[in-house]
Amino acid sequence: MKLPGNMQSMMKQAQQMQERLQAEIAQIKVEATAGGGMVTVKMDGQKQVLAVTIDPEVAGDVEMIQDLVVAACSEAFKKVEAETQKKMGGVLGGMGLPPGLF
């Protein structure tokens, strides 16, 4: 099916914007801590945990470490979401879409 010229151009532009957005999101790297820095989690834009650092002082308390790792991962997830939304807002804002649509 052949789309009208203007619509075809808009679709191509949207595809290019999506590709650029995906590339920008792939570059996101965040770091979050819990327990005053006892546990640090590094996460990428695809929400993959890249690294977990645990302060040796808490190494003996397994339950506390588990709780801190969960808390740090949750915080890292929130940071990735915020960065992703910021990038999406910048890219989609140029399309003239109403606020809050994405």
- How would you class 38 by CB atoms within 10 Å of its CB: exposed for 0-12, middle for 13-18, buried for 19 or more? buried
pLDDT value, residue 17:
86
What fold, for 29-90?
Answer: Ybab; Chain: A; (3.30.1310)
Angle at 90 between CA 87 and CA 94, to 5 degrees: 145
Question: Residues of the chain with pLDDT > 70: what percent?
Answer: 82
User: Over the stretch 59-102, which tens digit does the pLDDT of each residue have?
Assistant: 888 999 999 999 999 999 999 999 998 888 766 555 555 555 44
pLDDT, residue 102, reads: 47
Domain boundaries, the chain: 29-90
**53: confidence class by pLDDT, cuts 50, 70, 90:** very high
Share the mean pLDDT of the chain.
85
